[in-house]
Amino acid sequence: MHHEPLPPACACTLLRKAARVAGRLYDAALAGHDMSIAQFALLRHIARGEPLALSRLAEQLEMDRSSLYRAIAPLEKRGWVEVTPGAGRSKAARLTEAGRAALHAAEPDWAAMQHRVEAEVGTALWKVMKSGIETLSQGIERAGARA
């Protein structure tokens, strides 16, 4: 029986595999803070633009709003994030003092892992990969818009 060779892995599969590997490493680095890399990313994005409209936050993180609401709920429960009414019917997020302290405490461990990753792949390759992933993401987005 002759089988046709399978096509190579698609962009989505490769990106998901890389994301799972990276997620495990960064989650391990942040475990002592009882925080995942996803939670850390949410806190950092909010801190950069607070008060930050949830619709804008979802856009920045490429998340649908319902996924964002599910992700932000545990941060609210822990007292790290406060969601308040924004303009019109919108809602906005801001860090509480406890959230700011949690983010500040976790940053050195995140930075150490980031440094290890960059050192392992090399600064030049890191810059190329970062740019390449951003370009790939934009290309995938455009391809989806044409579908």
pLDDT in tens, 65-107: 999 999 999 999 999 999 999 788 899 999 999 999 999 999 9
| Cβ pair 94, 47 in contact under 8 A | no
Could you identify the residue written with the tokens 């698609």?
A: 10
Domains of the chain listed by start with CATH number? 27-146 (1.10.10.10)
| Cβ pair 99, 106 in contact under 8 A | no
pLDDT level of residue 2 (50, 70, 90 thresholds): low
pTM above 0.85, yes or no: yes
Could you identify the residue written with the tokens 């998340």?
A: 63
The C-alpha R_g of the chain, in whole angstroms, comes to 18
